Amino acid sequence: MTAALTPHRAPLKVLHLASFVGNLGDNAMHDGEYRTRAADLPFALDHCPCEVRQFIHWRERAFDAAFLAEANRADLVVIGGFSLFQLWRETTVSGTYLEATPELFAAIRRPILFHGLGCDATRGVSPLAVERSRAFLDALLAMDHCRFSLRNDGSVDLIRDHLGAAYADAMAIVPDGGLFAEPATGAVPGLAEGSRFIAINLAGDMPDKRYAGAGGEDLTKAFAADVAAGLNALLTADETLICVFVPHIYSDFGPIGAVLDALDDRLRRERVVVAGLAQGEGGWAPTFDLYRRAEAVVAMRYHACLASMGFGTPVFAVATHHKIAGQFAAYGLGARCHDWREGTDLSPLFAELARDLADPAPVRQRLGDIRASERAVLKRYHADLAGWLAGQVEGLL
């Protein structure tokens, strides 16, 4: 049980363990989460970011006594959203993304919300990771101050198939906050006010999974040629249209450059803009505002797709990660998600994109309906969450 806290009039102090300087989609997700919590919960929250990369990638910190003390100084600990369950990971004691034991979470005397988690099987499924993840969940699900939810991108199916139905059923399914992000508007050099443009988001991380052939050969140039062919046809047919490439992280400039190499020279010099990149809280809004302003979006990254849906912008996915296909399927939009692998032809995607540009109203209405439905789901979840927190924090309501 958590320790009783003093009745609150001031906002609850939230220690939020997540990625804040990963790719820009993480920041859009946090924006949507914070906004919807503020709108729905009957008490205020003051989120304090705690960068998860300090513990995993940079190894500057550990889940030790210092972290425990930090957690216990907060009123609430929120973990996520990120892919906590990485079914291939054998390098952590928990079998998850975090090098942390159940004993750590037992010692945190505050409610812990594991929120909007994902399950990743892009690098396979390890029996050892599965065994450790089950043991980790067995311990934490038995703690009444811990609560779990999964994002609705198909992660629950992976949990059910590989960890077991009991684990899947113990976690609520929630829409990702990126669907409700609201970026501020900002100017983009080279893009005049009122310009008609499509936004193209290409992902450059995990090239060994996204762009590898059956024999391991690098297919980046083949992918780039496929995208360039579609853009050449689209931009030639519509002389009023501009193409804006939208990176979310440094590695995205790799496939962007490859497509530019393959694109018609006049088009790439006169009809293309490459948006800038500023990582973190200061950079996400002007990037995601492009998805809101675009006539249509073609995207590889999860939050580029999801935010575009939330804005009502016609969006097509180029899927090289299972969570993209899972999210589109969850919303009945599977036909708008195009897998890319060796031998794939993306010309049908660009033909469908041209039809959306000619008549965007039906898909905009459909996306608006999806957002409204998911907002209602989230309101119900937040009402349940408020009741749980009221039982954890004395004097909260």
User: Tens digits of per-residue pLDDT, 346-383?
Assistant: 999 999 999 999 999 999 999 999 999 999 999 999 99
How much of the chain exceeds pLDDT 90, in percent?
Answer: 89
Q: Give the chain's radius of gyration (CA, Å).
A: 22
Q: How many CA atoms lie within 13 A of 197 on its CB side?
A: 27
Q: Where exactly does CATH 3.40.50.2000 map onto the chain?
A: 196-370
pLDDT at 267 over 90: yes
| Predicted pLDDT at 166 | 98
Beta-carbon contacts of 71 under 8 Å, excluding residues fewer than 6 positions away, are 15, 77, 108, 110
On the question of a cis peptide bond just before residue 387, with omega within 30 degrees of 0, the verdict is: no
pLDDT at 89 over 60: yes
Average pLDDT, the chain: 95
* CB 183, CB 289: distance < 8 Å: yes
**CATH architecture of the domain covering 196-370:** 3-Layer(aba) Sandwich (3.40)
| Predicted pLDDT at 193 | 86
Q: Does domain 12-180+373-392 have CATH number 3.40.50?
A: yes
Residue 34 CB-density burial (10 A; 0-12 exposed, 13-18 middle, 19+ buried)? middle
Residues in the chain: 397
pLDDT tens-digit readout, 142-170: 999 999 999 999 999 999 999 999 999 99
**pLDDT bucket at 397, cuts 50 / 70 / 90:** low
How much of the chain exceeds pLDDT 70, in percent?
Answer: 97
pLDDT at 3 over 80: no
pLDDT at 333 over 50: yes
| Predicted pLDDT at 1 | 42
* CB 322, CB 209: distance < 8 Å: no
Chain centroid to Cα 153, Å, comes to 10
pLDDT at 4 over 90: no
| Predicted pLDDT at 7 | 45
- Cα(301)–Cα(29) distance, integer angstroms: 13
Beta-carbon contacts of 55 under 8 Å, excluding residues fewer than 6 positions away, are 61, 62, 63, 67, 98, 99
**pLDDT bucket at 190, cuts 50 / 70 / 90:** confident
* CB 111, CB 51: distance < 8 Å: no
| Predicted pLDDT at 9 | 60
187-195 average pLDDT score: 88
pLDDT tens-digit readout, 298-329: 999 999 999 999 999 999 999 998 899 999 99
58-73 average pLDDT score: 97
273-285 average pLDDT score: 92
